[in-house]
Chains A and B, each alone.
Chain A
Amino acid sequence: MADALPHRTIADAAARLAAGTLSSVELTRAVIARTQAVEDRVKAFNSRDESDALVQAAASDARRAAGQALGPLDGIPVGLKDVIAVNGQPLTASSRMLANFVSPYDATVTARLKKAGAVLWGRLNLDEFAMGSSTENSAFGPTRNPWDLTRVPGGSSGGSAAALAAGCALATLGSDTGGSIRQPAALCGVVGLKPSYGLVSRYGLIAFASSLDQIGPFARTVEDAAIMLGAIAGHDPLDSTSFRAEVPDYRRALTEKKGPWRIGIPREYFGEGLDPEVGAAVEQAIAHYRAQGCEIREVSLPHTQYCLDTYYIIATAEASSNLARYDGVRYGHRAEGVTDIEQLNSRSRAEGFGAEVKRRIILGTYVLSSGYYDAFYLRAQKVRTLIRQDFLNAYRDVDVLLTPTSPVPAFKLGEKSDPLAMYLCDIYTIGVNLAGLPAISVPCGFTRAGLPVGLQLIGQPFREADLLAVARHYEQAHDWHTRVPAL
């Protein structure tokens, strides 16, 4: 199965396209056929346009025939989380609020993928407005984990992870505010990269928490993630928080940077709540690096226990502000039969948003409200400083940090009905967003029940090239990433 076209890597498919032994139309048809075969079980897509994808594929083949091929992504089918705008296409955030919305422009990442020749294929399911860790909060129904259809794919970018694992795209984009790329990547057995805050433009990304959100790739291999990152990274004047960082050739860096590296193991990430099988797989990965001559050093991130609370204050505060734009006036759902403007706002929002989005708006409004701002929001911003300082202190002694991505493997649909239990899924990923760091999840084993386990590597700000090289070093010595779910 891993030999089948829809399960190829970008690097492999690009080589065949360049050699003329494969066409983009042939590849895209294979991906469409695979999607048709499995989508009624996986339910990763909110919408897809097969004829549009084939038109893009034919254009890629024509470019190549004319000697004008654009690079490794030219002709490669790439899926997008349904929070990333594509001009003229639906954009729902998996919310009733935007069920009929059509994007009037391209996100910057969309424009860059188009410029790289990628075949944009499908809008992928998520927890409504990217709020959740299981994709069960989608207004259009949950996505299933391709490794076990009774389990969740993780979230919020569950559709992006599941579609890739199931062979319905060669790579996908997601967004990560507190782990929404890395956690589903771990639960679905694929690579997921959250770049440094500001490396990838957020223009055209539906906003959740603006100081934490980053777009990043899901891919089958670290090399493919490097190719995707190279296409989307870089300063963008349309995003005022976009950073003027150097964008190196990430793919070349994979072979140039050879280590050995000093790897830090934060002791706070291996405590209570960590599934023993996940812990054992991660310990094996540590043993690998040690055997390869890397220096393994225990480090401490002493404010780790405050990450969850800090995150849920800052993220909900920013969300309550960002989601104020859905007022029923200019776009999105509007309630019928209302006679005044406040009713129009309040009822449109009540009808358009699902339970988790409402909960977070309420929490965010509360922590920002008069009399509570200093006690909650301002205090959380100060603790955020301490959390960030913990990481920067650790990097005085080590090059990267190594942790589990998720404390548990994929759980059953409906298993975590309590919001706080669901929030605890993110304990190993949210610190990274608060500190603005790059981090990657790489497959590092399977449980006895056959569920994928992910290893998280956390890098230094804007040092994605080093981070990818460390991840690639592990991946090359293992074959977890080559396994394909038996769907």
Chain B
Amino acid sequence: MAATDLNIDHVARLARLALTPEEKAAFARQLGDVLHHIEQLGKVDVSQVEPTAHAFPVVNVWDADEPRPGLPVEVALQNAPRQRDHMFAVPKVVE
């Protein structure tokens, strides 16, 4: 769990965040401090411990298989930055 492993360019790409060089430098330093703090978790013996995803696990939540009205197309598109023919418009994805 070495804090120096944080490759900010790689992680920013994974997170789809176009960071400025200034942001990259600042975040790398600040998160270095946080990760250094986090390293102490390595001291805990968790070899016999199951992970907790939710405090009160709820399993098998079934719902009746009945159609219900959803958002009308116009409402679903009301916050779209750009739309065309009842669809979200984006730059060309496939050449």
Interface residues, chain A, CB within 8 Å of chain B? 100-102, 104-105, 196-198, 211, 237, 240-243, 303, 305-306, 308-310, 312-313, 320, 324, 327-334, 338-347, 349-350, 353, 355, 358-359, 361-363, 365-366, 369, 372, 375-376, 378-386, 388, 418-420, 423, 434-437, 461
Contacts and interface: CB of A to CB of B under 8 A. Distances in A.
Contact of A386 (B30, B49, B71, B78): B49
- Secondary structure at chain A's binding surface: helix, strand, loop or mixed? helix
A340 B23 contact: no
Contacts of B21: none
Contact of B14 (A241, A243, A365): A365
A435 B71 CA distance: 35
B90 A329 contact: yes
B11 A309 contact: no
B93 to A, nearest CB: 5
A419 B50 contact: no
B55 A312 contact: no
A240 B51 contact: no
Contacts of B78: 102, 104
15 contacts: A104-B75, A211-B55, A309-B41, A338-B91, A350-B18, A358-B27, A363-B35, A365-B11, A379-B42, A379-B44, A418-B33, A419-B30, A419-B33, A419-B34, A434-B55
B34 A420 contact: yes
Residue of B14, B16, B63, B75 most packed against chain A (CB within 10 A) = B16
Contacts of A331: 79-81
- Secondary structure at chain B's binding surface: helix, strand, loop or mixed? loop
Interface residues of B, number: 54
B41 A328 contact: no
A197 B50 contact: no
Interface of B: 1, 5-6, 8, 10-20, 23, 26-27, 30-31, 33-35, 37-38, 40-42, 44, 46, 49-56, 58, 61, 63, 71, 75-76, 78-82, 88, 90-93
A119 to B, nearest CB: 25
A382 B61 contact: no
Nearest to B14: A365
A332 B46 contact: no
Contact of B31 (A327, A362, A378, A382): A362
Contact of B1 (A361, A375, A384, A419): A375
Contacts of A320: 15
A349 B75 contact: no
B44 A105 contact: no
A283 B15 CA distance: 46
Given A241-B58, A359-B30, A436-B54, A332 B63 contact: no
A383 B55 contact: no
